[in-house]
Amino acid sequence: MPVRDAIATDIEEICSLIEEHARYEGNEELRLDRADMARHLFGPDPKAWVLVAETDGEVAGMALCSWIFSTWEARPGIWLDDIYLRPRFRRKGLGRELLTELRARTEGRIEWDVREDNHSALAFYAQLGAEPVPGWVRYRWRG
């Protein structure tokens, strides 16, 4: 199976994928501190985790996630903060495999954001049966 849990030695690939995704979305400035990211993902008190998709031993993409908890459902779920496949690996079923693996890890909900102008992602998520959340507006409070 080409989807696996990331390990500490994947940190360069993970950061490179995130930076590639930022450039794909028009952010040419993003440069991640590898040590900080490694501490947050693989340190003694990890804040998030990553699934890696591989093809023939090459890292094709990843999903960066953290746990959430729904009080009304009384169960944990997954927040999918970032999913990215390198362009040459798209349309090969890897995105579906990443999301299928996430679904297998929780009985709760999986939530994520998508840009409203990303029509190919919107179509892909709809094909999987995912739906937009009506009536909710996301807020952000920066530290």
Residues identified as active-site: 125
**Tokens standing for 141?**
């409070």
What is the C-alpha to C-alpha distance for residues 89 and 17, in angstroms, rounded to an integer? Answer: 13
Q: Where are the alpha helices (H) located in the chain, listed in sequence order? A: 11-24, 34-42, 94-104, 119-128
> Quick check: 50 and 82 in contact, CB under 8 A?
no
> Quick check: 67 and 75 in contact, CB under 8 A?
no
